Amino acid sequence: MLNKLAILRLNNVYLNNRISHLVNIAWVSVMLLAFAYYATHNWFRVKKVIIDGDMTYITPAQLKYIANNKLHGTFFTLDIEELKEQFEVLPWVKSVDIQRKFPNTILVHVNEFKAVAKIADSNNLLADDGEVFDGADDANDLELPILHVDVSRANFAYDKYLTIESVVSRHGDHITNIWMSDPRILVLTTESNLHITLCEQDLTNKLHNLDSYWQQLYAINPNITTMNFCYKNAVAINATQ
């Protein structure tokens, strides 16, 4: 009986020690977690935001506003994706890359859209990668060819512009506007206020004629205002007196 009591007493001591040990471990773990939480949320505050990139239309004031007002959290708790979204809301921002630099710096690299054409009656611009974006007030001040088409046809119209511009520019003029109200007809104006009409059908041959007869037509009348190449075996011209 005494032996059983001794064993029971020893077992209770062992169990109590085990429980005490586990409690101590749990307490230390809680304290460590609490300390880690406190440190990550109160220490390592972001003290510097470095922004770079090849930018022309994105203003420092816009970037500074985002950095000062939309950066929430510390070095460790900052939500990188949320901050990226805040920067990408700005007009002209194509993409943003954000990295942490220990212990208190955030690096922001901004990529700006490169506009190649304007879409008429809007602030929309066509970028060199084919994406349409909002150029805000800057769109009105850019000297770019104007595409008078629906946004969904902007890339198609710009491809036609490049093809025709390669011919027109050889003669010292440049396209300023292109209309495609009828899918089969292209209407263009140039810097010299020349109006050119081309038919989509057999466009390659029409452009060859435009290139070949340009000098001859101006030799006939240097005051040409319109050229229409939509006729099968002829070209119609108008000129001022």
Q: State pLDDT tens for residues 80-116.
A: 999 999 999 999 999 999 999 998 999 999 999 999 9
Instruction: Supply the mean pLDDT for the chain.
Output: 87
pLDDT of residue 166: 96
Alpha carbon distance 237, 229 (integer Å): 9
Alpha carbon distance 126, 147 (integer Å): 9
Listed by start position, the domains of the chain span: 1-43, 48-112, 115-239
165 confidence band (pLDDT: 50, 70, 90) = very high
pLDDT of residue 147: 97
Per DSSP, 120 falls in state T
Q: Is 3.40.1160.10 the CATH classification of the domain at 115-239?
A: no
**In this structure, are residues 211 and 199 in contact, taking their beta carbons and an 8 Å threshold?**
no
Residue 238: how many CB atoms within 10 A of its CB? 12
Alpha carbon distance 214, 164 (integer Å): 13
Between 5 and 213, the higher pLDDT residue? 213
pLDDT of residue 231: 86
- Specify the residue for token string 């505050």: 45
**Phi and psi torsions of 195, nearest 5°:** -105, 125
User: 76-80, 180-184, 222-226: which has the minimum mean pLDDT?
Assistant: 180-184
In order of 85, 104, 233, the CA distances from 108 in angstroms are: 12, 13, 59
What kind of architecture, by CATH, is found in domain 48-112? Roll (3.10)
Tokens of 61: 């004031």
**% of the chain residues with pLDDT over 70:** 83
